[in-house]
Amino acid sequence: MDVFFVVPFLALVSLLGVCVFAIVDKTRTEARKNDPNAPKSALAADGPA
């Protein structure tokens, strides 16, 4: 193993991890937006003061 194999491999694994995290977080956010029982954000116009 030399550096010309390890560095691109680590870069691709990191990119894959970020993409998986983004997809999971997007799914959770959309599910929360569709939940009528979820508490409103403090930044929302109709949220708690």
pTM above 0.85, yes or no: no
Mean pLDDT calculated for residue range 13-32: 97
Residue 45: what pLDDT? 83
In the structure encoding, which two tokens stand for residue 42, read together? 């403090």
User: Rounded CA gap, 25 and 12, in Å?
Assistant: 20
Q: How confident is the model at residue 47 (pLDDT cuts 50, 70, 90)?
A: confident
Mean pLDDT calculated for residue range 23-48: 90
